[in-house]
Structure 1
Amino acid sequence: MTTQTTPGDARLDNSAAGLAVFGDWTLGHYSRLQATVAHLRGQLAHGTAVDLSSLGALDTAGAALLVELLGAERLEQLANTADLPSERRALLLLLCRALAEAQDIPPPRRLAALEPLAHMGRAVTDVCRHSLELLGFIGLTLQTLGRSILHPKRWRITALVAQAEQTGLDAVPIVALLTFLVGAVVAFLGATVLANFGAGVYTVNLVAFSFLREFGVLLTAILMAGRTASAFAAQIGSMKANEEIDALRTLGLNPMELLVLPRVLAMLVSLPILSFVGMLSGILGGALVCALTLDISPTLFLAILQSDIGVQHFWVGLAKAPLFAFLIAVIGCLEGFKVSGSAQSVGEHTTSSVVQSIFVVILVDALAALFFMEMGW
Structure 2
Amino acid sequence: MGALADFSEHGGTLRFTGDLSLARIGDLPARLDAHGGSVSRIDLSAIDRIDTIGAWVIHRFAKKHDAAIEGLRSEQQHLLEQVEAADQAVPTRPTHVSPFNRVLGEVGEATVTAGRTMLGLLGFLGATMIAFVNVIRHPRRFRFNATIQRFEVVGVSALGIVGLMSFLIGIVIAQQGAVQLRQFGAEVFTINLIGRITLRELGVLMTAIMVAGRSGSAFAAQLGTMKLTEEVDAMRTIGVSPMEALVLPRTIAAILMMPLLGFYSSLIAIIGGGLLCWWQLEIPPVTYVARLREVVPITDLYVGLIKAPVFGAIIAVAGCFQGMQVEGDAEQVGTRTTAAVVQAIFLVIVLDAFFAVFFERIGWI
- TM-score normalised over the length of structure 1: 0.79
Aligned counterpart, 1:157: 144
Q: Across the two proteins, how many residue pairs are aligned to each other?
A: 332
Deviation at 1:21, TM superposition (A): 6.7
Deviation at 1:108, TM superposition (A): 8.8
Deviation at 1:364, TM superposition (A): 1.0
Of 21, 25, 32, 1:44 maps to: 32
Please show how residues 189-268 of structure 1 align to structure 2 within 5 Å: 189-268=176-255
Q: Which runs of 5+ in 1 are unaligned?
A: 5-12, 23-31, 57-63, 84-95
* 1:46 maps to amino acid: A
* 1:181 maps to amino acid: L
Aligned counterpart, 1:75: 65
Deviation at 1:109, TM superposition (A): 6.0
For the 8 Å contact 2:42–2:62, the answer to whether it is kept is no
Aligned counterpart, 2:8: 16
Please show how residues 194-343 of structure 1 align to structure 2 within 5 Å: 194-343=181-330
Given the superposition, is the C-alpha separation of residues 176 and 47 from structure 1 closer, same or farther in structure 2, using an over 3 Å criterion?
Answer: same
Distance 2:125 2:20 in 1: 52
Given the superposition, is the C-alpha separation of residues 261 and 53 from structure 1 closer, same or farther in structure 2, using an over 3 Å criterion?
Answer: closer
Distance 1:335 1:224 in 2: 16
Deviation at 1:222, TM superposition (A): 0.3
Q: Which runs of 5+ in 2 are unaligned?
A: 46-54, 71-83
Distance 1:341 1:165 in 2: 31
Tell me the percent identity.
40
* CA RMSD after TM alignment: 3.2
Aligned counterpart, 2:74: none
* 2:258 maps to amino acid: L
Distance 1:52 1:303 in 2: 103
Distance 2:43 2:181 in 1: 99
Given the superposition, is the C-alpha separation of residues 68 and 53 from structure 1 closer, same or farther in structure 2, using an over 3 Å criterion?
Answer: closer
Distance 1:308 1:336 in 2: 44
Given the superposition, is the C-alpha separation of residues 188 and 151 from structure 1 closer, same or farther in structure 2, using an over 3 Å criterion?
Answer: same
Given the superposition, is the C-alpha separation of residues 52 and 222 from structure 1 closer, same or farther in structure 2, using an over 3 Å criterion?
Answer: same
Deviation at 1:107, TM superposition (A): 6.5
* 1:180 maps to amino acid: F
Structure with greater helix share of residues: 1
* 2:61 maps to amino acid: L
For the 8 Å contact 1:67–1:75, the answer to whether it is kept is no
For the 8 Å contact 1:20–1:51, the answer to whether it is kept is no
For the 8 Å contact 1:335–1:349, the answer to whether it is kept is yes
Distance 1:325 1:275 in 2: 10
For the 8 Å contact 2:8–2:16, the answer to whether it is kept is no
* 2:282 maps to amino acid: D
Distance 2:356 2:8 in 1: 88
Deviation at 1:20, TM superposition (A): 2.3
Aligned counterpart, 1:117: 104
Deviation at 1:157, TM superposition (A): 0.4
